[in-house]
Structure 1
Amino acid sequence: MRLQKTTLVYFICLIFIYGCSNGGSEESAKVPRTYQDVEKDFDAINFKTGINDISLSNFRGGKWDFRVIMPNVNLTNNPRPLIITLHGAAGGSPDAHKQTACYVETAYAGLNAIIISPNGYVNLWSEAVNQEQVLALVDLATKYLPVDKNKIVIEGYSNGGNGAWFFAETQPQIFSAAIPSASYYNTTNNGIGRLIKIPVYAIHGEKDALFPVVDVKRWVDATNASGSKVTLVIAPGLTHPEPCSYVNYMKGAAEWLVNDVWK
């Protein structure tokens, strides 16, 4: 499996190229906004403690729908961890990014982190349109919110877990760790494990019929043999379509971040 190695700098450069272009083509003529416009709009948002559901017009004539959860702490000179959480396949539901209460909010409450949950609609997280969204939201958050740039985490469930693996592999200069749950991401080429440069805490249900744990374990063993630091936690009895049942294992991932990754 070959992966395109993109960086935040690369995508932000593309954002400026497309957002600022006046090249005269029909496509560019349809672009009414620039990335600078998006930045101004994000900076103008009055984020309150708790849940903020945002719809932000992007620079391609579309929008990004996402949730920002702000911790109830004094943020003055107190940069917080940033957790980007990616939802599972939701058939394009406009509310997919709002399904955070039963596991994400509960699992990471002790970290007092800023949590951003984007809506990927019908696209995979590895597709260019969602890479652009995720990387732009990280860029905006680190510029305009009190984020500790050394504590940025990518996490997700099911399809979102696959996305967490993808960003862990392709964006190690941005994310300090990844937490994929109930995911299915082949980390090998011809049976040889690819190196994942950041630590990963993978959680998987023992009874997951959609994504067999035997395959996940084989891929984890292969990437670890190549030098990766992947912890695989197998949840006894858990199946695939029950994300809320994974919350205690995700709390273990939060402890792992504090005790092993950020210490």
Structure 2
Amino acid sequence: MKYTRSLYLALLILTCTLTSSLKATPDFDHKIYKSSKGQSLNYRIHLPESMDSTKQYPLVLFFHGAGERGNDNNKQLIHGTKDILAYSKKSNAPVIIVAPQCPSGAQWVNTPWRKLSHTMPIEPSNSMRLMIELLNKSIKELPVDKTRIYVTGLSMGGYGTWDIIQRHPEIFAAAIPICGGGDTALASKLTATPIWAFHGDKDNVVKTIRSKDMINAITDAGGYPKYTEYKGVKHNSWSKTYANKDVLKWLFNQKKIEVKPLQ
């Protein structure tokens, strides 16, 4: 009887855990993007309830960090995405959210994260290339408001955010890169893009100077980026950022005047 009861409790706990896990992300559908060359990229997508094809919706592209890489197509939703969705629902402002998952061992940008600078690779990483293809597909097939396409990401995803707006500044209405870094030599391409970067001043993974250098370079080139540095904060500068309704309000208030096709 004791063994049976223990087994029952174990199964009950397992069932509750699995149920909780399934309930944790009901707003995001599992999807797999497959390229014309047979390569694939896992991603999750949130579409507005009762989506009306005659209307247009803002799209947020989300780049997760290194700890959320894998092939479970779930871990990329641990940080950020739920905050963005919660703000959308509370504001009664439906949004499309696309959250890809970078495979284990791969990167959004092929550069060491601890370096104090890097030159953007001529070709995007394989994961970034697939993400750009997925974004292009989403814009073509979904009722996306092309004047309100946003991108944000943290840590490895902060690098990804800088990388994609450097490659395609013509697409994004605004960007929020968190504890990442970009190529300062390309700052002049970003002067017209509303950017609000965040970093912790005690970050021991991605040096704070990576965000500072990008902000200073864009400012020197004639842009007006925003920058927030959290005092006493180490690498996790994303929790406070995504939980800040004023930050998300700023993001969704941005609108692109001139829209160009994705190259």
Q: Is this a same-fold pair by TM over 0.5?
A: yes
Gap change, CA 1:98 and 1:114, over 3 Å in 2: farther
Is 1:117 paired with 2:99? yes
Q: Distance in 2 between matches of 1:135 and 1:186?
A: 19
* Partners of 2:66 and 2:156 within 8 A in 1: yes
Encode CA deviations 1:43-63: one digit per residue, 9 max, x unaligned. xxxxxx821011243322332
Aligned equivalent of 2:156, options 124, 135, 159: 159
1:260 CA drift (Å)? 4.6
Q: Is the 8 A contact 1:199 1:261 kept in 2?
A: no
Give the alignment of 1:38-57 within 5 angstroms.
50-57=27-34
Match of 1:198 among 182, 193, 197: 193
Alignment-mate amino acid for residue 242 of structure 2: V
Which residue in the other structure is 2:62 paired with? 85
Q: Distance in 1 between matches of 2:184 and 2:106?
A: 21
Q: Displacement of 1:152 after TM fit?
A: 0.9
1:233 & 1:70 partners in 2: Cα distance? 30
1:32 aligns with none
Correspondence for 1:16: none
Aligned-pair distance for 1:76?
4.1
Q: Alignment RMSD, CA only?
A: 2.6
Identity of aligned residues (%): 25
The CA deviation string for residues 9-64 of structure 1, in whole angstroms up to 9 with x for no partner, is xxxxxxxxxxxxxxxxxxxxxxxxxxxxxxxxxxxxxxxx8210112433223322
Q: Which amino acid aligns with 1:61?
A: G
Secondary structure of the corresponding residue to residue 244 of structure 1:
helix
Q: Aligned equivalents of 2:68 and 2:27: distance in 1?
A: 27
2:47 equivalent among 67, 70, 95: 70
The 3 A distance-change label for structure 1 pair 259 and 229 is same
**Could you say which residue in structure 2 is the equivalent of 1:258?**
252
Please, what TM-score do these two structures have when normalized by structure 2? 0.70
Amino acid at match of 2:127: N
TM-superposed CA distance for 1:148, in Å, is 0.7
Match runs of 1:177-192 below 5 Å: 177-188=174-185
* Letter in structure 1 aligned against 2:107: L
Q: How far apart are residue 112 of structure 1 and its match?
A: 2.2
Q: Check the 8 A contact 1:85/1:118 in 2, yes or no.
A: yes
In structure 2, do the counterparts of structure 1 residues 73 and 187 end up closer, same or farther at CA, with 3 Å as the change threshold? farther
Q: Report whether the alignment pairs 1:232 with 2:245.
A: no
Matching of residue 148 in structure 1 with residue 125 in structure 2 = no
Q: Does 1:136 align with 2:167?
A: no
Deviations along 1:237-256, one digit per CA (max 9) or x if unpaired, are: 3221464343224x333211
Structure 1 gap segments, 5+ residues each: 1-48
Count of equivalent residues:
211
Q: How does 1:208-219 map to 2 (within 5 A)?
A: 208-219=203-214
In the superposition, relative to structure 1, how do residues 134 and 102 fare at CA in structure 2: closer, same or farther (>3 Å)? closer
CA positional deviation for 1:163:
0.9
Give the secondary structure class of the aligned counterpart of 2:206.
coil
Query: Is the 2:199–2:237 Cα contact (8 Å) retained in structure 1?
Result: no
Residue of structure 2 equivalent to 1:107 = 84
CA distance in 1, matches of 2:64, 2:94: 20
**CA 1:206/1:72 → structure 2, altered by over 3 Å: closer, same or farther?**
farther
- Say if 1:205 and 1:237, in contact at 8 Å, map to a contact too: yes
Report if aligned partners of 1:220, 1:232 keep a CA contact under 8 Å in 2: yes
Structure 2 alignment gaps of length 5 or more: 1-25, 110-123, 258-263
Q: Deviations over 1:109-144 (max 9, x none)?
A: 324210011122133224342232122111211222
1:94 alignment counterpart? 71
**Aligned counterpart, 1:39:** none
Distance 1:227 1:149 in 2: 25
Residues 236/71 of structure 1: CA separation in 2 closer, same or farther (3 Å cut): farther
Q: Structure 2: how far apart are the matches of 1:147 and 1:90?
A: 30
Distance in 1, matches of 2:49 and 2:78, equals 16
TM-score in terms of structure 1 length: 0.70
